[in-house]
């Protein structure tokens, strides 16, 4: 059975009405995808381990960090899991008081290079941190995030590590505000999801050179016996 001409025209019009904007959106997304891929060429994922402290004493919590840096280590987005309860000693006694339960935290920081000497680079960072709960260390869930660390390359330039001292607090806007102090040691993880530095790209992807053509000129072939 043939459909009426008016019905076919309506179907074609509806297809064009939906298809053309969709095609335009896809074409508009193509440059954005290319820009995102170019942006992530400088991304580095790092994982590691750390611990909490206050002044010169440990407060007893293991820290599991995962961080993403980009733009030649100028920016860092990191997530942290504080796995254990934190305690502080009571002055003049042998007792301890709990100050924080296990929680999740995240920070976004801008980093500045302080010095660079051979394979070692010093940096300072400042930004914002968010916590899944408040406690005696900080009554607010949004804090300022400070960091001071060393970035180093192991021999071979294939492994990059960082040792970072971190401090989160609300700058005394609300009390109590002892501050969350912790240190992390992380190493770069080249998972293939994100890009790697140009130096590593040139090392891993050497140009493919051929001294002679793959297929010889048929006229120059020797005749078969």
Output the pLDDT for position 13: 59
Tell me yes or no: is domain 43-190 CATH 1.10.340.30.
no
- Using DSSP's 3-state secondary structure scheme, residue 45 falls into strand
Angle at 144 between CA 140 and CA 149, to 5 degrees: 135
Q: What is the pTM of this model?
A: 0.70
Sign of CA dihedral 85, 89, 93, 97: negative
Query: What Rg, from alpha-carbon coordinates, does the chain have?
Result: 28
Residue 129, classified by CB atoms within 10 Å of its CB into exposed (0-12), middle (13-18) or buried (19+), is buried
Output the pLDDT for position 77: 97
Q: Of all residues in the chain, what percent carry a pLDDT higher than 70?
A: 67
pLDDT digits (tens, 9 = 90+) for 150-202: 999 988 778 899 999 999 999 989 998 999 999 999 999 765 555 554 445 43
pLDDT digits (tens, 9 = 90+) for 78-108: 999 999 999 998 887 888 999 999 999 999 9
Output the pLDDT for position 207: 45
Phi, psi torsion values for 90, nearest 5 degrees: -80, 130
Q: Of all residues in the chain, what percent carry a pLDDT higher than 90?
A: 55
Cα separation, 176 vs 96, whole angstroms: 17
- Using DSSP's 3-state secondary structure scheme, residue 32 falls into helix
* Domain residue extents for the chain: 1-42, 43-190
Cα-based torsion angle of the residue sequence 31, 34, 35, 38 in order, rounded to the nearest 10 degrees: -160
Look at the block and give the residue holding tokens 């912790």: 182
Output the pLDDT for position 33: 46
The whole-number average pLDDT for the span 118-139 is 95
């Amino acid at each position: 059975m043939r459909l009426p001409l008016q019905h076919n025209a309506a179907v074609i019009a509806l297809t064009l009405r939906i298809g053309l904007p969709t095609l335009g959106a896809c074409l508009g997304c193509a440059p954005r995808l290319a820009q995102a891929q170019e942006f992530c060429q400088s991304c580095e994922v790092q994982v590691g381990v750390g611990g909490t402290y206050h002044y010169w004493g440990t407060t007893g919590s293991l820290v599991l960090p995962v961080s993403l840096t980009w733009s030649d280590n100028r920016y860092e987005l990191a997530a942290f899991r504080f796995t254990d309860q934190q305690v502080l000693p009571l002055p003049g006694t042998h007792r301890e008081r709990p100050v924080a339960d296990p929680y999740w935290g995240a920070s976004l920081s801008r980093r500045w290079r302080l010095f660079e000497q051979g394979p070692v680079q010093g940096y300072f960072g400042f930004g914002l941190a968010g916590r899944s709960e408040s406690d005696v260390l900080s009554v607010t869930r949004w804090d300022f995030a400070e960091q001071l660390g060393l970035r180093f390359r192991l021999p071979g330039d294939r492994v990059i590590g960082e040792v970072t001292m971190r401090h989160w607090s609300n700058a005394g806007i609300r009390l109590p505000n002892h501050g969350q102090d912790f240190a992390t040691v992380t190493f770069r993880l080249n998972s293939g999801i994100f890009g790697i530095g140009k130096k590593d790209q040139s090392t891993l992807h050497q140009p493919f050179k051929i001294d002679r053509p793959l297929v010889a000129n048929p006229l120059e072939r020797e005749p078969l016996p």
